[in-house]
Structure 1
Amino acid sequence: MNKNFLPGLVFAILWATGSVAAKFGGRSADLLLLASGRFILTGIIFLPLLILQGKHRIWPRDGEWSKIFIYGLLNTTLTLGAFFASQKYVSAGISMLFLAVAPLVIALFSAVLLKRKLTRFEICGMLVSFTGLIIASFNEFKTAHVSYLGIVLLTIYMISYAAGSVYFSTLKLNMPNVAFNLWQVFIGGLMLLPFCGVLSQYHIRHFDANLLLSLIWMIIVLSVFSNQLWLYLIRQDPVKAAAWLYLVPVFGYVYGYLLLGETITPLALAGTALVITGLILSKRNRAVVPGRE
C-alpha cells in the first residue's frame, strides 16, 4: 500500500467535517468571524502548550518569519478566509464547482512552476473525478444563486490554494511542521480579522454550546490535525495531495445526510462512484518529481 494512502484518506475524511462544523457554527456567528476566531484561538491555545512541552523549537528564526507570513497569507487568510466569506454570496453548487477545479489548478501550477510532469493516468483520473463532482452537484445548479463578489472570492480561494500548496512544497524548513503550522494559522487568522469588518461578517448572534463545540472541533481536528496531514501530503507531492481533495465533497455529502438530514440523490451516488474511480486511476502509477527520491 502506498505510504500516503492512509494519511490522504484520513485527511479527506476529517477535512470534509469542516462544512458540517461551519453550518452548525454559522447558526451562532457569521462564518468569516468564526473562521478568523478559529485560526487565532488555535495559535493562542496550542503555541503555549508546545512551548511548555519543550520538545520542539517553537520560535521562528529571522528567515523563517517571511515563510510563515507568506504561507499564512496564502493558505489561511486568502484560501480559507475567501472560501468562508464566499458562502454568503453563492450556493452550494457553485462552491462545489470551484472545489472541483482547485485540484486541477494545483496540478497546473505544479507542472508550470515545479516542472512536475503529469502522467496520463493523473490527467485522466483528475478529469474523471472532476466530472464526477459536477454530476454529483448537478441538482444544486438548478437553484444556484451567485454574485460577482462570490465568484471573485471563490477565484481567490482556488488560486491561493494552488499557490500555497506549491509554495510550501518548495520550502526548506529547519523548524518542525507542527510549529510552522500553528504560527501560519495564527498569523493568517490575524490578517483575516480586518476583512470581517470590510465584508460585514463580524456578528456573534448566540454565544452558546453550539458555537463553542463547533470552534473546538474546527480548532483541534481541522486547524491542527488535518493541517498537519495536508502539509505532509503536499511536501511529498502537491499533485498527488490535490487528488485527495476530490474525496472531500463526497464525504461532505455523507456527513450532510447523517448529521443534517440532507438528501443524497442518485446523481450524487453516480458522481461519487466517478470520483472514487478517478482517484484510483490517478494513483495507478508512480510519477517522478525532478530532484526528489
Structure 2
Amino acid sequence: MNTATKTIAISGTTKSKEWKLIFIGIVFAFLWASASTATKIGLDSAQPFVISIFRFLIAGTIMLFVTHLVMRNRMPSKKEWVQISIYGVLNISFYLGLYVIAMQQVSAGLGSLAVATNPVFIALMSAVWLSHKIRFQNILSLILCFVGVILAAYPLLQNSFATLNGILILLASMIAYSLGTIYYSRANWKGLHILTINGWQTIIGGIFLLPVLAATYQPDQNIFDAKFWASVSWLAIPVSIGAVQFWLYLLKNNPIKASYWLFLCPIFGFIIAHFMMNEPISLYTFLGVAFVISGLYISMSLKNK
C-alpha cells in the first residue's frame, strides 16, 4: 500500500469515527434530556427518592448481570472499588440526590438550563487537573452554546419560580456532576469494562441514598401504578444504562469535547416536554438550536492532539 492510499484510508477511518461520535453524542443528549420529563411523570405517583432508588436498583442489577454473567468481565480490584465508590457518590448520590431535592424548589426550565453550566465547570476543571489547553475555539463554542441555551430557555424563564436555597442546591449538584466527570476521566481503570464501572457505581451510589429514603419515606405518597413503573423503567434502562454508557464512551474519547453535548440536553428537553407535556416551543427555541449547533460544529471540528 503506497503513501497516498494509506492517507486516504486513515482519512476515511477518521471521518467514520467523527460521524460515529456525532451520532452517539446526539443519542446521548436526547436520552439524558428525556430524564426530566420521565421524572415529572413519575412524581405524580411517588416520592423523588422512591423513584431514584428503584431506578438505580433496576439499572444496576441489569448492568451487573450483563457484564459479569453474560460478558464474563472481571470484578473490580481493591483500588478500583475505591474509585468506583468515589465516582458513584459524586455521580449518583450527590449529583442526582441534590438534583431531585432542588427540583422541588425550582422550575423545570431552570433545572434544564442548569445542565448547560456543566461544560463550563468541566472545561475549567480539565484545564487545572488534566492540563488541557483552552483555545479560542473552545471559548467561542462555549459562548455560542451558552447563548443558544439561554435563547431557548428564555420564554420558560419568564414564568419560572425558584428559591435561593433551591438554586444553591442545584448549583451544588452541577458541581458534583462535573467533579464526577473529571474524576472518571483522570482515574486509571486498567481496562475495567465501562459497563462494570457503570453498574457498580449505580448500585453503590444508590446504597448511599438509602438512609435519606428511610428518613423521608411516607407510604401514603407512593402509588406503584403504571405511570410509576413506566417512569422508573425509562429512567433505569434508556437513561441510566443507555445514556450513561454513551456518556462514558464520549468521555474516553475526549472529556472536553464530550461536555459540549450537554448543551443539547436542554434543547431536547424542551422538545420532549412539548410533545409529552404540551410545553410551548417558540422562535426562541429555534434560534437557540441554531446557536447550539454552530457551537457544537466548532467544537467537533477541533483536531484531537
Same fold per superposition (TM over 0.5): yes
- Within the candidate set 255, 258, 267, 1:238 is matched to 255
The 3 A distance-change label for structure 1 pair 164 and 246 is same
1:251 has 2:268 as partner: yes
Q: What's 1:165 paired with?
A: 181
Runs of 4+ in 1 over 4 A off after TM superposition: 201-204
Cα distance in 1 between the residues matched to 2:198 and 2:61: 13
Q: What's 1:130 paired with?
A: 146
Cα distance in 2 between the residues matched to 1:121 and 1:191: 40
Q: What's 2:37 paired with?
A: 20
**Cα RMSD for the two superposed structures:** 1.8
Residues 42 and 232 in structure 2, CA contact (< 8 A), matched pair in contact too = yes
Cα distance in 2 between the residues matched to 1:133 and 1:48: 38
Residues 124 and 278 in structure 1, CA contact (< 8 A), matched pair in contact too = yes
Q: What secondary structure, in the 3-state scheme, does the structure 2 residue paired with 1:4 have?
A: helix
Q: CA deviation at 1:202?
A: 5.5
Structure 2 stretches of 5 or more lacking a match? 1-14
For 1:80, the aligned partner's letter is: L
Q: Which has the larger radius of gyration?
A: 2
Cα distance in 2 between the residues matched to 1:148 and 1:196: 24
Q: CA deviation at 1:115?
A: 0.8
For 1:29, the aligned partner's letter is: A
Q: CA deviation at 1:124?
A: 0.5
1:105 has 2:121 as partner: yes
Residues 40 and 187 in structure 1, CA contact (< 8 A), matched pair in contact too = no
Q: CA deviation at 1:151?
A: 1.8
Residues 113 and 266 in structure 2, CA contact (< 8 A), matched pair in contact too = no
Q: CA deviation at 1:55?
A: 2.4
Residues 32 and 202 in structure 1, CA contact (< 8 A), matched pair in contact too = no
Q: What secondary structure, in the 3-state scheme, does the structure 2 residue paired with 1:16 have?
A: helix
Residues 63 and 198 in structure 2, CA contact (< 8 A), matched pair in contact too = no
Q: What secondary structure, in the 3-state scheme, does the structure 2 residue paired with 1:264 have?
A: coil
Q: CA deviation at 1:196?
A: 3.5
Cα distance in 2 between the residues matched to 1:238 and 1:68: 18
Cα distance in 2 between the residues matched to 1:45 and 1:96: 28
Q: What's 1:291 paired with?
A: none
Q: What's 2:172 paired with?
A: 156
Q: CA deviation at 1:54?
A: 4.9
Structure 1 stretches of 5 or more lacking a match? 289-293
Cα distance in 2 between the residues matched to 1:178 and 1:268: 35
Percent of counterpart pairs with the same letter? Answer: 35
For 1:235, the aligned partner's letter is: K
1:179 has 2:180 as partner: no
Q: What's 2:110 paired with?
A: 94
Q: What's 2:55 paired with?
A: 38
Q: CA deviation at 1:265?
A: 1.5
For 1:232, the aligned partner's letter is: Y
Q: CA deviation at 1:163?
A: 0.9
The 3 A distance-change label for structure 1 pair 165 and 122 is same
Cα distance in 1 between the residues matched to 2:275 and 2:212: 33
Cα distance in 1 between the residues matched to 2:245 and 2:262: 15
The 3 A distance-change label for structure 1 pair 138 and 218 is same
Number of aligned residue pairs: 286
The structure with the greater share of residues assigned to helix is 2
1:62 has 2:78 as partner: yes
Deviations 1:138-186 (A, max 9, x none): 1222222222331222122111111111111112213211011100011
Deviations 1:21-71 (A, max 9, x none): 1111111112233122211222234423443325211x2221111001000
Cα distance in 1 between the residues matched to 2:304 and 2:121: 18
1:213 has 2:230 as partner: yes
Cα distance in 2 between the residues matched to 1:130 and 1:287: 23
Q: What's 1:85 paired with?
A: 101
Cα distance in 2 between the residues matched to 1:260 and 1:283: 32
Q: What secondary structure, in the 3-state scheme, does the structure 1 residue paired with 2:241 have?
A: helix
Q: Which piece of structure 1 moves more, 201-210 or 69-78?
A: 201-210
Q: What secondary structure, in the 3-state scheme, does the structure 2 residue paired with 1:117 have?
A: coil
The 3 A distance-change label for structure 1 pair 29 and 242 is same
Q: What secondary structure, in the 3-state scheme, does the structure 1 residue paired with 2:117 have?
A: helix
Residues 169 and 236 in structure 1, CA contact (< 8 A), matched pair in contact too = no
Cα distance in 1 between the residues matched to 2:195 and 2:206: 17
Cα distance in 2 between the residues matched to 1:236 and 1:46: 22
